[in-house]
Amino acid sequence: MEHVINGVAKFQNEVFPEKKAKFSELADGQSPEVLFITCADSRIDPNLVTQTEPGDLFICRNAGNVVPPHSSHTGGITASIEFAVAALGVSHIVICGHTDCGAMKGAIAPENLDTLPHVKEWLGHCRAATEVVRGRHGGELCKDHLDEVTRENVVQQLQHVRTHPSVASGIANGSIQLHGWVYNIGTGEVLCFDEATREFTAMSERYRTIFGEQLAAAEAAAAACDNKA
C-alpha cells in the first residue's frame, strides 16, 4: 500500500501541476468520446493501452467485461451504459477482453466456483459464449479453449449491449459504433472483431487508415531527424 500512497504524493506534487490546465477544464464536466467496457483484472490499464488522457474514456470494469442484456432490473453496468450514451453522448463503445482471463476460466469450469456464488451467477452472462465454443468442439470444453472463449465472449457481449435501448437507438441512427477487442497481456497486441468476416484480426488491419497515418508520421519524424543529423 505504501507505493500507492507514494504515487498519490507524486501525482499531486509532479503530475498534477504539469496538467493543471487540463484538470481545470475537466473540473466543470466531461465529454468522453468512448465508452470502454473491460475486465476488472489488475493487469489491464485502459488509458495505458490506448494512450489516452483523463476525460477521453468513460470506463466500466467488471469480472469478464460482461454486459448483461437489457431488462427491467437496474444494475451498475446498465445504468452506466445509459448514462454514457444518453447523457454524455459517447459515439463509440468498446468491449475489450484479454488473455489469461480468470473470469473466462471460471465460465469454462463453473463447477469450480461453488465457494464464489456471486461470481458463478455473474458469469452466467457468459454462458452463450461457452456454449458456442462447446458446440464447435463436439460438446467438449476445456482450458485449451480459453482464447477462443475469450474472443467469443466479446462477440456475445456486443450482442448484449445492442439490446440496451439507448444503444439500439444510437446504432439505428448512426451515432454509435461498436468495437470488440481482445488485448494480449504478454505481447501488447490488440485483436479486433470484424463484423463482415466474423473474425478477429490485428488492429493494424482493422484500422488500417489510422495506423497508416501513424506510420507515415513516424517515418516523417525519423526522416527529419536524419536530415538534421
Domains of the chain: 30-228 (3.40.1050.10)
Distance CA 39, CA 57 (A): 15
Say what the pLDDT of residue 207 is.
77
- pLDDT score recorded for residue 157: 98
CA dihedral 46, 48, 53, 54 (to 10 degrees): 50
| Residue that the C-alpha cell 480459453 belongs to | 146
Residue ranges in the chain whose pLDDT is less than 50? none
Alpha helices in 51-90 (DSSP H): 76-82
What pLDDT score was predicted for residue 8? Answer: 92
Q: Where are the alpha helices (DSSP H) in 39-141?
A: 46-50, 76-82, 102-108, 117-122, 127-136
pLDDT of residue 5: 93
Q: What type of residue is 26?
A: L
What pLDDT does 141 receive? 95
Per-residue model confidence as pLDDT tens digits over 80-101: 999 999 999 999 999 999 999 9
Q: Of 105, 206, 93, whose CA–CA distance to 148 is shortest?
A: 105
pLDDT of residue 210: 66
Distance CA(7)–CA(20), nearest Å, equals: 17
